[in-house]
Amino acid sequence: MTRGDLRSVVKGRVWQRGDDGFDAARRAWNLTIEQPVAAVVEAEDAEDVAALVRYARRSGLTVTAQAGGHDASGDVEGAILLRTGHLDGVRMRPSERVAHVGAGVNWGQVLSEAGPHGLTGLAGSSPVVNVTGYTLGGGLSWFGRRYGWAADSVRAFDIVDADGNQARVTDASDAELFWGLRGGGGDFALVTSLEFDLHPAPSLYGGRMIWPDARSGEVFEAFRKITDQAPPELTAWYNRFAFPGAPPMVALDMTYLGNPREGSALLRNLDRIGDVISDNRGLVAVADLGDIAGEPTAPTASLPRAELLTQLDEGLATEPIAPLISIQIRHLSGAMAEPGPGASGALAEPYLLQMTGVGPNPDLAHATRTRQHRLIERFGPVITGRKPYTLLTPDETAADTFPEPTLTRLRELKYSRDPQNAFRANHPVLKQ
């Protein structure tokens, strides 16, 4: 690959090894992840994407797509990194409850435009996560208990295939590829835009309550009771925090798709727990959904680990978590437990455990990973070992997500649609 050849193929900007700005251009959102790519291309439009794929095919190269790289794995040695940030169009059809968004759009943009119409997309906890990457991996939403995976709401994908041809993929036009793209990752085509259903949100209640960690047992028991009886419109997440320089805390995050009085009544057990540090529950604008969890909106050196739980273990309320900065338990169930139309399938496990640390230096990174592994050993009896695709870590594979029949089907799709491996997902389905 020569600099002149690649730059003559696309309209967008190109960085190659040795260029000024190359290191910044290839950097993932998670600053602990190295991305040893050969080049970075910032596509101007879908035609640029198609031209790049044709070039890569002729040259025997692989393309991996990212808008920001929240879930980057680092498995990109020698690949061309495609940045999709300029594919940033958002078109709403509120009367049809449909959104059409480019591959570079993040959830904050979608929610800001959908909210004034009393609608929402199936966004997750962060407003700066890319819609396309999140959806290709399934998409675990605040509202998944009511509506399932974000991928299940997709109506159509606009793609570039492994030959560099543009196409629109729907259930009617290409049922197998449509199935695979809904939760099976980005191994089969490059998505340049997607169209998905929006869902009614005329009233949204939610927020966060925080207590000293000494109250973690009481909050945990309240969380257990709430989730035992929660309707699908209610989602609650239990959090314990150990931020450097701050006292340990416990919190409950929540959203309720419905009348605030109904939401407040469902959470009345929380009002009996004393020593509340803060409570910002109330009406939430759809555009402000990302404020509830308060996740970083700038790149960070994070070390996450996720596990699915068959049930709650009260030790999660008392086990020391430092040097981690947080553990979180998300309530799933509801529509997430039902088989969907895409590759994501059903999540039989009712809870998701997320353990997050930071890794700005090797010693802290080692201590963080050691603590995560010890927590996994401690709670092994309630951990299944399966992980949602979008929460896989660099040392995990698609086989940790998909049951064997699904993985086999995804591999057959890869062989049939991309036999020369022109595309590389964060976690390829063919990697053993």
Residue 164, pLDDT > 60, answer yes
Query: What is the pLDDT of the chain when averaged over all its residues?
Result: 96
Residues recorded for the chain? 432
Residue that is written with structure tokens 């190295």 in the block:
34
Please determine, for residue 12, whether its predicted confidence score (pLDDT) is greater than 80.
yes
**3-class DSSP assignment, residue 291:** helix
- The distance from CA 292 to its chain's CA centroid, rounded to whole angstroms, is 16
Q: What is the mean pLDDT of residues 199-211?
A: 97
Please tell me the distance from the alpha carbon of residue 147 to that of residue 92, in angstroms, as a whole number. 20
**pLDDT greater than 90 at residue 2:** no
Q: pLDDT confidence of 4, banded at 50, 70, 90?
A: low
Rounded CA gap, 144 and 346, in Å? Answer: 11
CB-based burial label for 369 (10 Å; 0-12, 13-18, 19+): middle
Read off the pLDDT of each residue in 18-31 and give the average, rounded to a whole number: 95
pLDDT one-digit tens code per residue, 277-332: 999 999 999 999 999 999 999 999 999 999 999 999 999 999 999 999 999 999 99
Given a cut of 70, whether residue 210 has pLDDT beyond it is yes
Residue 1 pLDDT grade (very low, low, confident, very high; cuts 50, 70, 90)? low
* Portion of the chain with pLDDT greater than 90, in percent: 96
Q: Strands 80-83, 63-66: parallel, antiparallel or unpaired by DSSP? A: parallel
| Across 161-174, average pLDDT | 98
Q: Phi, psi at residue 99, to the nearest 5°? A: -125, 140
Looking at residues 181-190, what average pLDDT do you find? 97
pLDDT above 80 (res 204): yes
Query: What are the residues facing 160 on neighbouring strands?
Result: 166, 190
For 411-424, b/e burial (b = at least 16 CB within 10 A) is bebbeebbeeebbb
Mean pLDDT value of segment 207-212: 98
Global confidence as pTM: 0.96
pLDDT band (50, 70, 90) for residue 366: very high
Judged by DSSP in three states, 354 sits in: strand
Side-chain-side CA neighbours of 28 within 13 Å: the count stands at 22
| Nearest of 291, 293, 311 to residue 251 by alpha carbon | 293
Dihedral of the CA atoms 188, 194, 199, 201 (nearest 10)?
A: 120
- Quote the CA–CA distance of 198 and 324 in Å, as a whole number: 36
- Which structural domains are found in the chain, ordered by start? 3-83 (3.30.43.10), 90-200+400-417 (3.30.465.10), 204-391 (3.40.462.20)
- Of the candidates 297, 293, 217, which has an alpha carbon nearest to the alpha carbon of residue 255? 293
Element (H, E) at 306: strand 302-309
Token pair in block for residue 12? 């967008």
pLDDT at 430 over 80: yes
pLDDT in tens, 40-78: 999 999 999 999 999 999 999 999 999 888 889 999 999
pLDDT at 68: 82
Task: Name residue 195's beta-bridge partners.
Answer: 100, 156
Residue with tokens 């803060």: 278
Q: Examine the pLDDT at 151 and tell me if it is beyond 70.
A: yes
Summarised one tens digit per residue, pLDDT across range 214-246 is 999 999 999 999 999 999 999 999 999 999 999
The phi and psi torsions of 65 (rounded to 5 degrees) equal -105, 140
Looking at the predicted structure, is the pLDDT value of residue 247 above 60?
A: yes
Give pLDDT, residue 5: 87
Distance CA 133, CA 183 (A): 10
Say yes or no to pLDDT of 89 above 90: yes
Return d(Cα 193, Cα 102) in angstroms, integer: 4
State the DSSP code for 402: S
For position 71, what pLDDT does the model report? Answer: 85
Q: How far apart (Å, rounded) are the C-alpha atoms in residues 305 and 310? A: 17
Instruction: Give mean pLDDT, residues 414-428.
Output: 96
Question: Among 138-152, 358-372, 417-431, which range has the highest average pLDDT?
Answer: 138-152
Whole-angstrom Cα distance, residue 391 to residue 72? 10
pLDDT of residue 359 exceeding 80, the answer is: yes
Q: Furthest-apart CA pair in the chain: how many Å? A: 68
- The radius of gyration of the chain's CA atoms, rounded to the nearest angstrom, is 21
DSSP 389: G
